[in-house]
Amino acid sequence: MNEVNVIGHLINGEMVNDDVRTQAVFNPATGIAEKKVALASKQTVEQAISAAQAAFPAWRNTPAIKRARVMFRFKELLEQNADTICRLIGEEHGKISHDAAGELQRGIENVEYACGAPELLKGEHSKNVGPNIDCWSEFQPLGVVAGITPFNFPAMVPMWMFPLAIVCGNCFILKPSERDPSSTLYIAQLLKEAGLPDGVMNVVNGDKEAVDVLLSDERIKAVSFVGSTPIAEYIYATANANGKRCQALGGAKNHAIIMPDADMENAVNQLLGAAFGSSGERCMALSVAVAVGDEAADALVEKMTVAMKNLSVGAHDNASNDFGPVITQAHKDKVEGYITSAQTQGAKIVVDGRQPQVKGYENGFFVGATLIDGVTPEMDSYVAEIFGPVLQVMRVKTMQEAMQLINDHEYGNGTCIFTRDGEAARYFSDNIQVGMVGINVPLPVPVAYHSFGGWKRSLFGDLHAYGPDGVRFYTKRKTITQRWPSSGVREGASFAFPS
Ligand code: NAD
């Protein structure tokens, strides 16, 4: 590897890099390791925690409206620097500029929500709950809290976490994905320019070694995690065992039901973007289309096959491309391995995206859009989350059968039904065992003023991410009951429980 930049950490407002260990950061379109990222040691993470701990007393006592003003300035800086952020996302993640812009916009919406901190933190008040007695609940910050984030949304997912945590009065340690850390780090640096005091926001790059310090150090009061299910489960169990509040969002297998009465043209258009956008590397990607009845299935496969001919896979900086490479060579091998396993286990590969030729990018980690028909529940490609541009079609006879498939799957992140029948749609949304439901909406990612979270093994914890649940996650309730007796009035001792 040639001499390359080493991406360090942001601690107490300064860039730091004293670590011995590093890891290559690839441009997935060229397949070249263009940079290196420092992997934080225990000492580096502890340095970040100490900085956050030192910043906490003053930040906690900063009025909520002043904390919110930092977020107003931060939002403007994100918009002014959007091109740089999207370029950094493209160079390390590979997603096309329009997709990166969409991700950034959804992150900015979380910042906008955080700007409402004075309203969000007003608490609850009841006057005269007893003679001369008032009662109120307030929401106090937890202290130093941590976020651990995945590679697939290096801008948006961190912004599900730190803007809200910070306006609630906490100090934050972020451990981004080591595979595409630059856009995340750049965004965090903008916070300083927005006027955030040093130490309130810190970024440590690294791997398991850094994560394990965040999970064990008693100064960390809460951990938000987004990533794959095995790691989410580990994070949740370890954080809980160490007495920390934790929300850990995991993997997914999102099904779309295609009802016989669906507007098929619309369903196909929606499925194209939801299955292949961002190379299928979205936790809300629709990766399974369950067609009710052979007629619907045949029409779906036929129209998808035609529409997929127009898709173009390529590098991030050509906006005419629909999606880019997957994140690593190992991930490309894994995705293509699942396509092969589906074929071996009896499914039909209708459109085969293995080993696509992308001119000028022969060493990139590309997988073309793939359509597989005749998938059945026991196939490995159905059981696992593939996280690639692969749409699998399953054929069932009834809507009940389709819903049973979804309810039986270990994941329960997102789902969607395509139909013109309001009664069927209502029954579906009432009874499906999934956290986020779309009705003719393929990617039902909740807006910033609702909350995001799956069911079953897609989320470990009680509170969903961002929105109202985010405020609850990053605060602890304190309830104060106060009496100021009228002058001259004295009460005698009472041994009955106060009522
Ligand atoms: P990942 O689980 O490999 O990594 C996520 C984070 O955990 C990274 O910061 C990584 O450094 C850290 N990590 C990895 N191995 C670890 C270990 N052994 N111990 C401690 N920390 C470890 O996930 P990824 O590949 O970066 O992201 C893709 C996954 O994330 C997919 O499964 C996707 O569905 C999921 N995801 C879920 C959501 C959601 O909201 N539910 C959103 C985005 C992504």
For residues 276 and 317, membership in a common domain is answered with yes
**Per-residue pLDDT, 487:** 79
Q: Coil, helix or strand for 148?
A: strand
Give the chain's domain count: 2
* Ligand 1 center–CA 227 separation, angstroms: 3
Catalytic residue among 86, 168, 246, 283: 283
| Pair (23, 133) in one structural domain | yes
Q: What share of the chain is helix, strand, coil (3-state, %, to 5)?
A: 40, 25, 35
List residues near ligand 1 (CB under 6 A). Answer: 148-153, 157, 175, 177-178, 207-208, 211, 226-228, 231, 249-252, 283, 385, 387, 413, 454, 458
Pocket test for ligand 1, best of 106, 156, 231 (most atoms within 8 A of CB): 231
- Distances in Å between the alpha carbon of 310 and those of 286, 303, 351, 436? 19, 12, 12, 30
Kindly state whether residue 273 falls inside one of the protein's structural domains: yes
Which of the 8 DSSP states describes residue 59?
Answer: H
Same domain membership, residue 217 and residue 272: no
pLDDT attached to residue 493: 86
- What separation in Å is there between the alpha carbon of 401 and the centre of ligand 1? 31
d(CA 178, CA 336): 23
Residue 161: give its domain's CATH number. 3.40.605.10
Q: Compute, in angstroms, the gap from residue 178 CA to the centroid of ligand 1.
A: 10
Query: CA Rg, the chain, in Å?
Result: 25
Q: CA-to-CA distance for 183 and 188, rounded, in angstroms?
A: 9
Give burial (CB, 10 Å; 0-12/13-18/19+) of 429: middle
Residue 294 CB coordination number (10 Å): 12
**Claim to verify: residue 114 and residue 149 sit in the same structural domain:** yes
Q: Do 130 and 105 sit in the same domain of this protein?
A: yes
Q: Is residue 76 part of a domain?
A: yes
Distance from C-alpha of 2 to C-alpha of 29, rounded to nearest angstrom? 18
Spacing, Cα 128 to ligand 1 middle (Å): 49
Is residue 140 a part of any domain in this protein?
yes
> Per the domain annotation, does 499 fall within a domain?
no
Q: Which amino acid is at 395?
A: R
Q: Which domain does 317 fall in, by range? A: 254-439
Phi-psi region of 186 (alpha: psi -120 to 50; beta: other; left: phi over 0): alpha
Mean pLDDT, rounded, of the chain? 96
Tell me how many degrees the CA angle 253-263-261 measures, rounded to the nearest 5. 90
Q: Atom of ligand 1 at shortest distance to CA of 207?
A: 11
Q: Whose CA is nearest to atom 42 of ligand 1?
A: 283
Q: Whose CA is nearest to atom 30 of ligand 1?
A: 227
The atom of ligand 1 lying closest to the CA of 235 is 20
Query: Residue 203: enclosing H or E segment and its boundaries?
Result: strand 201-203
263 and 384 housed in the same domain: yes
Q: Is residue 488 in a domain?
A: no
What is the structure's pLDDT at 167? 98
Residue 169: per-residue pLDDT: 98
Residues 362 and 295 occupy one common structural domain:
yes
Domain assignment of residue 485, yes or no:
no
* Domain shared by 241 and 272, yes or no: no
Residue of 92, 151, 175, 383 to test ligand 1 pocket, by largest number of atoms within 8 Å of CB: 151
How far is residue 225 from each of residues 175, 211, 250, 446, 460, measured CA to CA in Å? 10, 10, 8, 18, 10
Per-residue model confidence (pLDDT) at position 485: 83
Domain match, 307 and 331 both: yes
Q: What is the pLDDT of residue 4?
A: 53
Strands (E), 238-302: 245-249, 254-258, 286-292
- 171 part of the active site: no
Instruction: Answer yes or no: do 82 and 203 share one domain.
Output: yes
pLDDT value at residue 499: 77
Domain at 341, CATH number: 3.40.309.10
- Does residue 23 sit in helix, strand or coil? strand
pLDDT at 2: 41
**Same structural domain, 102 and 235:** yes
Q: Which of 411, 439, 467 finishes a domain?
A: 439
Please state, in angstroms and rounded to a whole number, the distance separating the CA atoms of residues 171 and 441: 36
Same domain, 93 and 229: yes
- Measured from the Cα of 413, ligand 1's closest atom is 41
User: Is 450 part of any domain?
Assistant: no
Tens digit of pLDDT at every position of the chain (499 positions): 344 579 999 999 999 998 789 999 999 999 999 999 999 999 999 999 999 999 999 999 999 999 999 999 999 999 999 999 999 999 999 999 999 999 999 999 999 999 999 999 999 999 999 989 999 999 999 999 999 999 999 999 999 999 999 999 999 999 999 999 999 999 999 999 999 999 999 999 999 999 999 999 999 999 999 999 999 999 999 999 999 999 999 999 999 999 999 999 999 999 999 999 999 999 999 999 999 999 999 999 999 999 999 999 999 999 999 999 999 999 999 999 999 999 999 999 999 999 999 999 999 999 999 999 999 999 999 999 999 999 999 999 999 999 999 999 999 999 999 999 999 999 999 999 999 999 999 999 999 999 999 999 999 999 999 999 999 999 999 999 999 988 777 778 888 888 7
- Residue 328 CA to ligand 1 center (angstroms) comes to 14
